[in-house]
Structure 1
Amino acid sequence: MTDSPDARHALRAATAADHERVDRAFSAFDLTTREGYSGFLRAQAHGFLPVEAAIDGAGPHDIVPDWPARRRSQSLLADLDALGVTPPDTASRPLFRSREEILGAIYVLEGSRLGGRMLARSVPADFPRAFIGSSDAGMWRTLIEILDKLLISDEQRTAASDGARSVFALFEAGARQEGTQLGR
């Protein structure tokens, strides 16, 4: 993987198929309807809630000092509450065994923030948008700098890719589960 010019591109290449599956699974949600948007947020919760809790438990502050500012679970829960929707049960959590896996997980969460900015255009203005509307390009740039500084070797990038894949899998499973409940 170190033939890639930087860690971000190495992670993107290593997880491209995972990302594509997640995008396909989430494309089933019509964000212009209350039911579709609610399902979308519940599907997001299947990933965000356990992953952020797992990252918190792994102690990310020494590698991503601004981690608390990156958390979006509370915004997600607030939007679900505003819609009168109960969050899904997410009792099980992934286990991140290394800082590289934590970085891979944060890479996916921050990438979804960027994607959310695009999706927010489809969401009606009267729907709660704290979760999907939270974007900060500076946070993405800072993460890229951290990835490039800390993910140098093939082994480090492989571990980060493994962490990212485990997060993509949670999002995909959540989208499929919630999509099925919507009859899609």
Structure 2
Amino acid sequence: MDVARLREATAADHEAVEGAVPLMDAGLDRARYVAVLQRMHGVVKVWEEFALRAAPPSLLPMVVERQRLGLLEGDLLGLGADVPSGDGPVLPGWGSPGELLGAMYVMEGSRLGGQMIARHVEGLLGFSSGEGGAYFRGFGDRTGVMWKELVRVLDGVPPPQDEVVIRAAREMFAVFGGWMRGV
């Protein structure tokens, strides 16, 4: 899989999701930030549960290592907010490793932007480093290394599967953006 092709094929989808998540808004306040985190909880919970069930043995260690729901819940609790107990969005009926990797591309890509979001939120809302932003800080200096690991796995996907990966990534962007527009 040519990751540059995947990025290009999903650029508009990525941009649409960024527009649905108001975390970089200059007018973001604490209440709105908490509402966004609570809404994100539904997507992250559903995704992580699915990924654990769907990952083939060869990808399971990578999926397990990337679980971040606990970080998100810790942020909410640390901000004095409730952790949602409701459901999240319904994911497509993905069943192949290519589909899992397409969706994973979206969720892991959000981790890269999370570093910038964490700095913005900390400065705007006056949080100390890491306060309320553990989810976005994710794995700190390991974030780039973990992204490169996923890119290597994607690079190993045979070209006949490219369209499967792209379709699943576009579907995951649509699920994520659609769910987040409910904030």
Sort the TM-score into its range (normalised by shorter chain): 0.7 to 0.9
Q: Which blocks of at least 5 consecutive residues in structure 2 are unaligned?
A: none
Deviates more, 1:136-145 or 1:72-81: 72-81
Partner SS state of residue 96, structure 1: coil
TM-score, normalised to structure 1's length?
0.83
- After superposing on structure 2, the runs of 4+ consecutive aligned residues of structure 1 that deviate more than 4 Å are 28-32
Q: How big is the shift at 1:165? A: 1.7
- 1:102 and 1:86, CA in 2 relative to 1: closer, same or farther beyond 3 A? same
1:149 equivalent in alignment to 2:142: no
| Residue matched to 1:85 | 82
**Paired AA for residue 157 in structure 1:** D
Q: How big is the shift at 1:29? A: 6.4
Within 1, Cα distance between the matches of 2:120 and 2:85?
23
1:19 equivalent in alignment to 2:4: no
Within 1, Cα distance between the matches of 2:40 and 2:53?
20
Q: How big is the shift at 1:118? A: 0.8
Aligned pairs (5 A) from 1:54-133? 54-63=50-59, 65-83=61-79, 84-87=81-84, 89-90=86-87, 93-94=90-91, 95-124=93-122, 125-126=127-128, 127-133=131-137
Identity %: 33
1:7 equivalent in alignment to 2:2: yes
Within 2, Cα distance between the matches of 1:27 and 1:33?
10
* Equivalent residues of 2:89, 2:175 under 8 A apart: no
| Residue matched to 1:169 | 174
Within 1, Cα distance between the matches of 2:2 and 2:61?
19
* Equivalent residues of 1:105, 1:164 under 8 A apart: yes
Q: CA RMSD in A?
A: 2.1
Q: How big is the shift at 1:28? A: 6.5
Q: Which blocks of at least 5 consecutive residues in structure 1 are unaligned?
A: 1-5, 179-184
Within 2, Cα distance between the matches of 1:21 and 1:100?
23
* Equivalent residues of 1:80, 1:87 under 8 A apart: no
Within 2, Cα distance between the matches of 1:17 and 1:66?
27
| Residue matched to 1:45 | 41
